[in-house]
Structure 1
Amino acid sequence: MVLLLACTALGIMMLTVGVFLHLSLPGWEFFAGLGAYPASRREHIRIPKLRRRLSILFYVVAAAFLAGALLLAVKAISPESLYRTLPAIVLLGVDGIWILYRIYDGNSYTTRMRRAAFASFCIINIGFIALYLLNVLY
């Protein structure tokens, strides 16, 4: 029951964020993470394209969570199979956000900064995959 509520709540939250980004409702810059950028950096980001792609990404993640909740509610899948699937969806969503920012951010960064960002990306992904495999195998 807790898993069903969690999937439904996360799906509704992701859908809400997607709608905020898609319709440019007040506060969409907060959800897109653009509030942390100074104006000089924001002018080098292709914001309309980033906003649209982020909204699509949030819609896809919301659909996955809501589909999991629906399948769990009608007992078409077991909670164990949902536990195995949802972490991969979360990882793909986080990686999708990182990749979209890499594509649409036209700011110039130093080589050292790019390497540090890539290293942190790899460390987070490897750590997440290791924890996921430990969870699935044991």
Structure 2
Amino acid sequence: MSTCVFCKTKQSKHCGRSFHKFPVKNVLRLQQWLKEMKRKDWKPNRNSTLCSAHFTNDCFDRTGFLITLKKNSVPTIFDNPKSECSSCHRLREYGRGYSFFKFPLDEPDIMKQWIANINIGPWSP
């Protein structure tokens, strides 16, 4: 069973994702994958995988019976996996049934309302 090294999603019948090994034998492509992940001092091994949630739809070949990752695809969808709720401190985890939203920094009135509603004292995002 595979686990995505970024979001920790585990492969199962019901997860709805495919899992793709890092191109460890293709140094140039591997560098592109690692650059997009923005993980310092991390190296994949031959079993390390990313799930399909980190690839755009055009990265997949859907012409055959199986959906496969195109040869030159590079993952580009990486949210911060360690996001945390400012109020309850729940960690962001994929597939857990709740959503995280960024503070509306460009709308000061709405921002004040958000801060008042979460009631965490003198604090600013």
Classify the TM-score, shorter chain.
under 0.3
Return the structure number with greater relative CO, CA threshold 8 A, min gap 6: 1
Task: Tell me the TM-score normalised to structure 2 length.
Answer: 0.24
Task: Tell me the TM-score normalised to structure 1 length.
Answer: 0.23
Higher helix share: 1
Higher strand share: 2
